[in-house]
Amino acid sequence: MWVYVKQLEYPVRVSRPDLEMAKNIFAQFGGPDSEFSASWRYLTQAWIMPSGVAKSIVIDIGTEELAHLEMVGTMIDLLLGDATPEQMDKAGLGAHYVEHGRSLFLHDAAGVPWTSSYVQAHDDPITNLRENMAAEQKARTTYEHLICKTNDEQVRKTLAWLREREVVHFQRFGEALDRVQERMSRRPHF
Ligand SMILES: [Fe+2]
């Protein structure tokens, strides 16, 4: 299943530490429309897909989202730099520092912890695929908001690349939906 290559899916660089931006990017680490939510939404839903191709699409995207979580984590870590407790306080990360220090944790930009209620899995593949398409659009919108919040060209480049992957995932879930609908139309409905 895995071929181990010791590199990120796309290089992550930042021009300088920026604690406010690190705080914003937590939206994509542990927020409702984050890469973490996407991974576990897809990696729980995949097993009820009615065809091997649809199942593979959902699993492949779920695992790619974990690679994106690695990129987002790397970006936050670089943006935090060697922040002092005082600097973290000033950037609105004071409570984060008290509970986690400089470690990353699964919460959103406002510090709200991740919860499994952000994701859902049903035994209806069409329901799931439509949810996934909406989730990809919400993640794309979140990346667009993040791009607006920084003038660091390096950070913008990585965010734009991640945004582009959300568009591709939306399209691939659309392909899976077409296949599943076609297959289900050939058998009796309940
Ligand atoms: Fe995605």
Q: Residue ranges per domain, the chain?
A: 29-109+121-185
CA distances from 85 to 19, 22, 93, 96 (A): 11, 15, 9, 10
- Which pLDDT score, from 0 to 100, does residue 185 have? 84
For ligand 1, the distance from its centroid to the CA atom of residue 23, given in whole angstroms, is 21
Average pLDDT over residues 29-50: 97
In this structure, the chain runs to a length of: 190
CA distances from 188 to 76, 128, 157, 181 (A): 50, 20, 48, 12
- Which pLDDT score, from 0 to 100, does residue 16 have? 97
For ligand 1, the distance from its centroid to the CA atom of residue 174, given in whole angstroms, is 13
Of 3.40.50.970, 3.40.50.720, 1.20.1260.10, 3.60.20.30, the CATH number of 29-109+121-185 is 1.20.1260.10
For ligand 1, the distance from its centroid to the CA atom of residue 133, given in whole angstroms, is 9
Q: Which of 79-83, 115-119, 180-184 has the lowest mean pLDDT?
A: 180-184
Checking if the pLDDT of 2 tops 80, the result is no
- Which pLDDT score, from 0 to 100, does residue 134 have? 98
For ligand 1, the distance from its centroid to the CA atom of residue 102, given in whole angstroms, is 27
- Which two three-digit tokens encode residue 54? 């649809």
For ligand 1, the distance from its centroid to the CA atom of residue 170, given in whole angstroms, is 7
For ligand 1, the distance from its centroid to the CA atom of residue 162, given in whole angstroms, is 8
Neighbour-count burial of 103, counting CB atoms closer than 10 A to its CB (0-12 exposed, 13-18 middle, 19+ buried): exposed
Q: What is the pLDDT of residues 64-116, one digit of tens each?
A: 999 999 999 999 999 999 999 999 999 999 999 999 999 999 999 999 999 99
Checking if the pLDDT of 190 tops 70, the result is no
Verdict on whether the full-model pTM lies above 0.85: yes
For ligand 1, the distance from its centroid to the CA atom of residue 189, given in whole angstroms, is 30
For ligand 1, the distance from its centroid to the CA atom of residue 184, given in whole angstroms, is 25
Average pLDDT over residues 34-39: 98
For ligand 1, the distance from its centroid to the CA atom of residue 68, given in whole angstroms, is 8
